[in-house]
Amino acid sequence: MKILVTGFDPFGGESVNPAYEAVKRLDDNIAGAEIVKVEIPTVFGKSINKLDEAIEKENPDIVICVGQAGGRFDITVERVAINISDASIEDNEGNMPIDEPIFEDGESAYFSQLPIKAMVQKIREGGIPASVSNTAGTYVCNHIMYGLHYLIDKKYQNIKGGFIHVPFLPEQVIDKRATPSMNLNDIVKALTLAIEAVVENKEDIKMPEGKTH
């Protein structure tokens, strides 16, 4: 089994992105699966093209994209991506789309085909807080997650895909008041556990992980 894992480059004034920092530290083999790592630019459109090229080249069985969710307390496995881009800040090439569909001929949303609750449970068993998230936002993270599933839907129907959001690193919150963070080693461990859960679980487990809002 081959798993492609992507992480974004820094954006929004940060000098580091915990997503790719963690991704590049992953072992090359996790639970018997070969891990291929790619850095993706935080740019609307171009990020999806880069992902498409990487899938074409690597022919993976699974694709997991990883992004920074500054302000979140825990590792969040995303459930769904929606067909809209609505930026509150410019991306790394100055784009700032407002309420634009990502693909006119795509579904209104795509649900992850990964075992998201098994991933959350496995991370928690490893002593790291995690939960299912029902929104990946409307910026480049949602964009790449939607793009990934659009590509799967249209071109790569044997692939399964998903997205994981990770918190700020401690060093990123020194000048931010009352903002949670997570150690890089813990993020690497959590991603590793999530990948193990993906390898181990063909079907997702049933456990309540919903949110009232």
Residues that bind its own copies (CB under 8 A): 12, 67-74, 79-80, 82-89, 96, 98-99, 107-111, 117, 124, 127-132, 134-142, 165, 170-171, 173-174, 176-183, 185-186, 204, 206-213
Instruction: Choose the catalytic residue: 21, 65, 78, 196.
Output: 78
Instruction: Choose the catalytic residue: 21, 141, 149, 196.
Output: 141
Comparing CB distances to its own copies, the nearer of 117 and 160 is: 117
Active site residue 141: yes
Active site residue 56: no
The residue type of 143 is H
What is the per-residue burial (b if ≥16 Cβ within 10 Å, else e) of 1-25? Answer: eebbbbbbbbbeeeeebbbbbbbee
Instruction: Choose the catalytic residue: 21, 143, 149, 165.
Output: 165
CA angle (39, 44, 177) in 5-degree steps: 75
Comparing CB distances to its own copies, the nearer of 82 and 195 is: 82
HSE, side-chain direction, 13 A CA sphere, residue 141: 29
Using an 8 Å Cβ cutoff, are 170 and 70 in contact? no
Active site residue 78: yes
Comparing CB distances to its own copies, the nearer of 67 and 147 is: 67
Nearest-approach distance from CB 100 to its own copies, in angstroms: 10
Alpha carbon separation from 51 to 91, 119, 120, 196, 212 (Å, rounded)? 17, 22, 25, 22, 33
Supply the residues annotated as catalytic: 78, 141, 165
